[in-house]
Structure 1
Amino acid sequence: MSKAIIFEVDGTLVDSNVLRARAWQEALARYGRQVRLPRVLAQMALHGDQLLSEFLTEEDMTRYADELASFHRALFQESYLPRVKPFHGVPELLRHLRAEGWKIALASTGDPDELEHYIELLGVEELIDGRTTDAEVNHTRLNEEIPAEAIRLLGLDRTDETLAIAGSPYDVEGAVRLGMRCVGLVCGGFSDEQLVRAGAIAVFGTPEDLLTRYSESPLAAGG
C-alpha cells in the first residue's frame, strides 16, 4: 500500500495564522468594522465570504464584500506575507518522511503564489510530490476538496491510504470526513482538546516536535 501524507500549510508548516488574521482585522477596520483579534482568529478556518459573513451585515456583504476581500488579499501579500516565518524542523521532517518511503503533498487554502512563496521559504521544493490550493477546487467545502485534490495528484485511489497533518479543527474535520486519519499540530493556535474533538488521532506541538517524537507517532507505524 502506498504511504502518503498531506500537509496543510498555514499554521502547520508556516506561522501565518496570526498575520493573516491581523490583515483581516485591518481590512475590516478600513470598512468601518472594529473587530478584536481573538474573534478573527476564531474564524480563521473559514474562507473569504464565509469569514466576512461573520462580521458584516447581509446588506454590507452585497455592497462591498468582494472589494474588502480583494483589499485583504493585497494587504496580506504586500505587508504581512514577507513576515511569515517557517516553523522549525519542516525540511528535516519532510526529508525523514521521504527516507521512510512516504509520498508528500501540500494542501493550502491560500493563493497559488502564496504557496509557492512558502515552498521557497521552507526550501522543500525537491521533497514534495504534489501541491494544491483553493484555485483548483470548488470553494464550498475547501477543507475536503483541497486534500481530495491532493490525493488525486498523488495518484491514489483511496483516502485510507493517506494521513493528514493539520493545525486547525476545520482541516482535521475535513480530512476525517474524507476517510483519512489526521495528526494535529497545536502550533496553528488551536488547543489539543479542539484538535482531538475534531477527530485528530494524535496531537503534537510543531513539525520539529513531531520529528523528535516520531517513534511514538502514528507515522512510525507506516501510517
Structure 2
Amino acid sequence: MVKAVIFDVDGTLIDSVSQHAKAWQDAFRDFGHDFPLEDIRRQIGKGGDHLLPVFLSEAEIEERGEALEAHRAEILKTRYLPTIEGLPGVRDLVRRLRADGRRLALASSAKADELQTYKTIAGIADLIGTETSSDDAEASKPDPDIFEAALERLDGIAPQDAIVIGDTPYDAEAARKAGLRTIGLLSGGWTADELLRAGCIATYRDPADLLAAYDTSPLHPTKP
C-alpha cells in the first residue's frame, strides 16, 4: 500500500509551464540568444543546472549562467507570476490523500522562495509542510537528489512505499533513479505516450481527473 505521496509542483499542482518557458526565453534574449519557445518548454521540469547546458556552452554558463538564472527569476516574478493559477482539483486531491492517512511531501526543481509562493497559489500551504526544492539538492531533476531528499524528510518511508505525482519525463526519470514509481499528469504538456515511455505507471489529465479516478488509481488504499 502507498504510505506516502511526493508531488512535483510546476505543471502538476500549478499551471505554470508556459510562464516558466517565457521567462527563460526573455532572459535568454536579454543575454543575446533567441531560442524557440517550444524548445525551451520541453526543458521545463529541469533545474537551471540541466536546462542551461542544452542551450549554452560550458564557457558561457561559467561566465554568465548565474546572472542569467537570477535574471530569469526576476522576470518570472515581475512579468508572469500574476498569471499562474492552481490546477483544478489540487486541494481536494490533497485532502483525500490526507484523509486516507498518506504522508505528503513536495519535491520541486524550483527555488525555495518560489516554492512557498506556489504552495499558496495551489491552495495547499496549510496542508503540506514537508518539502524539498533545488536548494536542497546538488543536482536537479532528472537527477534523483530532490526526491531522495524528500524521502529523507519522510522519515521511515521506504521508496517502494511511496509514489511520485509529476508531469514530465524528468520527474519519472528522477523518481526511477530514487526507486520510486510515478503517476504522470498531462497538465504539463507532455503526452500520455511520452510519460509512459519515461516510466510512469499510469497517466491522468490533471489532479481533478486523478481524483475522479481515485478508486481505480494506484493511489487507492487497496491497490498494491
Tell whether the structures are fold-level matches, with TM greater than 0.5. Answer: yes
- Tell me the residue number matched to 2:46: 46
- Tell me the residue number matched to 1:68: 68
Give yes or no for contact 1:49–1:65 (8 Å, CA) kept in 2. no
Matching of residues 180-199 of structure 1 within 5 Å: 180-199=180-199
What is the SS of the residue equivalent to 1:163? strand
Matching of residues 29-178 of structure 1 within 5 Å: 29-139=29-139, 143-178=143-178
- Normalised by the length of structure 2, the TM-score is 0.93
Give the residue type in structure 1 aligned to 2:215: S
Q: How many Å apart are 1:54 and its aligned residue?
A: 1.8
Structure 1, gaps ≥5 residues long: none
- Tell me the residue number matched to 1:15: 15
Bigger shift: residues 21-30 or 127-136: 127-136
Give yes or no for contact 1:110–1:134 (8 Å, CA) kept in 2. yes
Q: How many Å apart are 1:69 and its aligned residue?
A: 1.4
- Tell me the residue number matched to 1:5: 5
Q: Deviations over 1:42-84 (max 9, x none)?
A: 1223321432222223443333222111111111122212221
What is the SS of the residue equivalent to 1:193? helix
Give yes or no for contact 1:90–1:207 (8 Å, CA) kept in 2. yes
Q: Deviations over 1:187-212 (max 9, x none)?
A: 01111011101110100000000001
What percentage of aligned pairs have identical amino acids?
36
Distance 2:179 2:58 in 1: 35
Q: Are residues 1:25 and 2:32 paired?
A: no
Distance 1:44 1:182 in 2: 18
Q: Which structure carries more helix by proportion?
A: 1
Structure 2, gaps ≥5 residues long: none
Give the residue type in structure 2 aligned to 1:112: A
Give the residue type in structure 2 aligned to 1:83: T
Give yes or no for contact 1:12–1:188 (8 Å, CA) kept in 2. yes
Q: How many Å apart are 1:132 and its aligned residue?
A: 1.0
Distance 1:182 1:194 in 2: 13
- Tell me the residue number matched to 1:214: 214
Give the residue type in structure 1 aligned to 2:145: E
Give yes or no for contact 2:49–2:139 (8 Å, CA) kept in 1. no
